[in-house]
């Protein structure tokens, strides 16, 4: 009988399970994340209880507006600055906050969910807000405000000494704002409901080129130098020379690397800052942007030759130029003609360009173990006589001839490079040949027909004698100060001076 009394009726067990199930279902244990937020859940002291995602995002959007208007006090020792959050792309990620709020109490086992919900009702759940910034704007704004404490790193570099030897200037570390810590500290202040005030921390910033890296480049002295002259009074051309030369100043070239003049200098256009100056187009001089840049490529070409570097590509002008010996020029046209060379040494090359007055100098530095004695010579192998071209001109009287263009000879030129070490020739090399066009002499021949002028009726001469001094010019052929017609007075010094330039030699 006692055993029977201790038995629990199955009906009671079933009833208890049903009641518990109804309680659990009614309390939302199995509700999905798309339902409303559980009681006790909050963020930044804002209660989210009972809100769905859309309503929660709307409510948090108002909070975000308030936070964006907040000013953060930045402090470093005795210095302070004010930072407006709205200016650095500050954002409260409402979507992420609501996802976390809706998940609260709805993950894990049934027992874990029940336990969490009990805890929410007792103490509540304060969610961690998700703050976001435009890191680039934040870094720029703080760096500008606190520029007194920001120190830029200094790369190691080369110093050219008076004797053209090279010294290495050591690198220096810089100091920048610790951005990660700043974001974290601003968030902590906002969560605490305090007026945001943070102490700035600095982090060291390493230079991009360390002392050890620059020392390993092996640059210790001058390999070659070359100078050309130009007319500084031609301001547009001088400006273009300066701009193109500046592109090569302090250029570092890796061992084995090929260097394109056009790649380094870039397009020669008015948009790129170049001015109009004379250039050669179809064997004629016309104004165009970048006139004068070819003097830089030519100066560099001769420096490369003297440094015993490999020439990959070079083209001569269509006409000789005045600033280098014939056969030693190098013309360039962006996207058409280039000058390319290769660093065939085992070390870096360091380029320096310098303009002073009317002189352009380019110097190449490297490892002096590679330095050689180099001579470059060039000579004319053939002269090409110009043709005489006659052109009809209806603006000139028939049969009259006028020289419209003086002709000039063309040339074929050869060049050679001889490389020696301690008086022993190591290499004798033929350089690219040069072909300069002859300029035709152009003579305009008149074709305009002459018309016979009408003759006015003659008037009988007056019988009255002329008044003194009227209509009469006395001529004294005995005056030695006035030479007779057709003679030329002698010049002092006895030596005639020719002002005729050498045909075919031009400067651009």
Provide the pLDDT for residue 467: 43
Confirm whether 246 is domain-assigned: yes
Would you state the pLDDT for residue 457?
A: 63
CB 408 within 8 A of CB 448: no
C-alpha span between 72 and 81 (Å, rounded) = 8
- Token representation of residue 241: 């020379």
Residue for token pair 């963020």: 43
- Per DSSP, the three-state class of 191 is helix
| Same domain membership, residue 360 and residue 382 | no
pLDDT score at 157: 96
Q: Do 134 and 44 share a structural domain?
A: yes
Residue 286 has what pLDDT?
64
Q: What helix, strand, coil percent values describe the chain, rounded to 5?
A: 25, 30, 45
Of 186, 181, 179, 227, give the one whose Cα is nearest residue 364. 227
Same domain, 226 and 364: yes
Task: Select from 371, 406, 431 the last residue of a domain.
Answer: 371
Structure tokens at 124: 């509540």
Among residues 91, 115, 145, the one where a domain terminates is 145
Inter-residue contact 35 to 105 (CB < 8 Å): no
**Residue 80 counted as domain residue:** yes
Q: The tokens of 37 are what?
A: 């937020």
Q: Same domain, yes or no, for 337 and 422?
A: no
DSSP codes joined into one string, 135-183: HHHHHHHHHHHTTTT-B--B--EEEE-TTSBEEEEPPB-EEEE-HHHHH
pTM above 0.85, yes or no: no
Query: Is residue 111 in some structural domain?
Result: yes
Same domain, yes or no, for 113 and 68?
A: yes
Q: Write down which residue in 449, 465, 480 finishes a domain.
A: 449
12 and 84 co-located in one domain: yes
305 within some domain: yes
72 and 83 share one domain: yes
CA distances from 293 to 169, 260, 278, 361, 434 (A): 32, 14, 10, 14, 19
21 and 130 inside one domain: yes
Query: How many CB atoms neighbour CB 44 within 10 A?
Result: 19
CA quadruple 233, 236, 240, 243: dihedral sign: positive
> Is 33 found in the same domain as 97?
yes
Pairing verdict, β 41-43 and 125-126: parallel
Kindly state whether residue 209 falls inside one of the protein's structural domains: no
Weakly modelled stretches of the chain, pLDDT under 50: 1-5, 17-18, 21-33, 463-507
Is residue 173 a contact partner of residue 153, using CB atoms and an 8 Å limit? Answer: yes
Task: Specify whether the CB–CB gap between 256 and 342 falls below 8 A.
Answer: yes
Say how many C-beta atoms besides its own lie within 10 A of residue 74's C-beta: 23
Indicate whether 362 and 227 sit together in one domain.
yes
> For residue 319, what are the CA distances in angstroms to 150, 211, 213, 329?
55, 47, 45, 10
* DSSP, residue by residue, 18-47: HHHHHHHHHHTTT--TTSPPPTTEEETTEE
31 part of a folded domain: yes
At a CB cut-off of 8 Å and minimum separation 6, what does 492 contact?
Answer: none
Class of residue 443 by CB neighbours under 10 A (exposed 0-12, middle 13-18, buried 19+): middle
Query: Rounded to an integer, what distance in angstroms lies between the CA atom of residue 252 and that of residue 208?
Result: 14
CA distance 83 to 75: 11
Residue 37 lies in a domain: yes
Listed residue (320, 317, 271) closest to 294, CA to CA = 317
- How much is the pLDDT for 491? 32
State which H helix or E strand residue 202 sits in: strand 202-205
pLDDT in tens, 307-329: 999 999 999 999 999 999 999 99
Answer yes or no: do 112 and 9 share one domain: yes
Q: Give the count of domains, the chain.
A: 3
pLDDT value for 11: 57
Q: Provide the pLDDT for residue 27.
A: 47
Are residues 218 and 346 in contact, defined by beta-carbon separation less than 8 angstroms? yes
**Cα 318-324-327 angle, rounded to 5 deg:** 50
d(CA 21, CA 345): 85
Phi, psi of 377 (to 5 degrees): -130, 150
CATH number of the domain bearing residue 378: 2.20.230.10
Do 247 and 301 sit in the same domain of this protein? yes
Residue 230: domain span? 217-371
Residue 356 lies in a domain: yes
């Amino acid at each position: 009988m006692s055993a029977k009394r201790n038995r629990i009726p199955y009906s009671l067990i079933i009833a208890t399970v049903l009641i518990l199930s109804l309680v659990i279902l009614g309390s939302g244990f199995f509700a999905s994340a798309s339902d409303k937020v559980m009681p006790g859940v909050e963020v930044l002291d804002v209660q989210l209880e009972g809100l769905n995602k859309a309503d929660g995002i709307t409510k948090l959007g108002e909070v975000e507006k308030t936070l964006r208007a907040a000013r953060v006090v930045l402090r470093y020792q005795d210095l302070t600055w004010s930072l407006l959050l709205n200016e650095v792309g500050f954002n409260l990620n409402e979507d992420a906050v609501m996802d976390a709020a809706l998940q609260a109490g709805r993950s894990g086992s049934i027992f874990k969910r029940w336990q969490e919900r009990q805890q929410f009702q007792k103490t509540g759940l304060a969610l961690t807000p998700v703050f976001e910034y435009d890191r680039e704007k934040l870094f720029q704004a703080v760096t500008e405000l606190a520029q007194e404490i920001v120190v830029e790193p200094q790369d190691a570099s080369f110093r050219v000494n008076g004797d053209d030897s090279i010294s290495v200037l050591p690198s220096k570390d810089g100091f920048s704002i610790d951005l990660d810590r700043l974001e974290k500290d601003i968030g902590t202040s906002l969560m605490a409901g305090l007026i945001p005030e943070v102490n700035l921390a600095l982090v060291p910033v390493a230079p991009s080129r360390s002392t050890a890296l620059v020392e390993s480049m092996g640059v210790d002295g001058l390999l070659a130098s070359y100078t050309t002259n130009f007319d500084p009074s031609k301001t547009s051309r001088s400006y273009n020379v300066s701009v193109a030369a500046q592109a090569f100043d302090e250029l570092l070239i890796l061992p084995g690397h090929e260097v394109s003049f056009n790649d380094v200098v870039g397009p020669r256009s008015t948009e790129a800052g170049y001015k109009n100056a004379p250039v050669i187009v179809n064997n004629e001089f016309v104004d165009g942007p970048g006139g004068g840049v070819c003097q830089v490529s030519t100066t560099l070409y001769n420096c490369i030759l003297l440094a015993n570097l490999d020439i990959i590509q070079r083209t001569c002008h269509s006409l000789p130029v005045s600033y280098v010996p014939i056969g030693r020029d190098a013309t360039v046209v962006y996207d058409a003609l280039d000058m390319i060379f290769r660093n065939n040494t085992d070390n870096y090359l360091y380029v320096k360009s310098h303009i002073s007055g009317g002189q352009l100098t380019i110097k190449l530095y490297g490892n002096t173990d590679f330095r050689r004695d180099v001579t470059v010579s060039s000579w004319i192998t053939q002269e090409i006589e110009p043709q005489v071209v006659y052109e009809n001109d209806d603006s000139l009287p028939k049969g009259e001839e006028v020289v419209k263009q003086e002709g000039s000879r063309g040339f074929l030129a050869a060049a050679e490079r001889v490389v020696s070490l301690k008086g022993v020739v190591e290499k004798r090399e033929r350089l690219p040949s040069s072909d300069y066009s002859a300029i035709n002499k152009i003579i305009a021949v008149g074709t305009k027909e002459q018309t016979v002028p009408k003759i006015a009726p003659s008037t009988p001469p007056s019988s009255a004698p002329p008044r003194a001094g009227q209509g009469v010019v006395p001529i004294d052929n005995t005056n030695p100060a006035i030479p007779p017609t057709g003679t030329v007075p002698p010049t002092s010094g006895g030596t005639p001076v020719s002002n005729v330039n050498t045909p075919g030699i031009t400067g651009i």
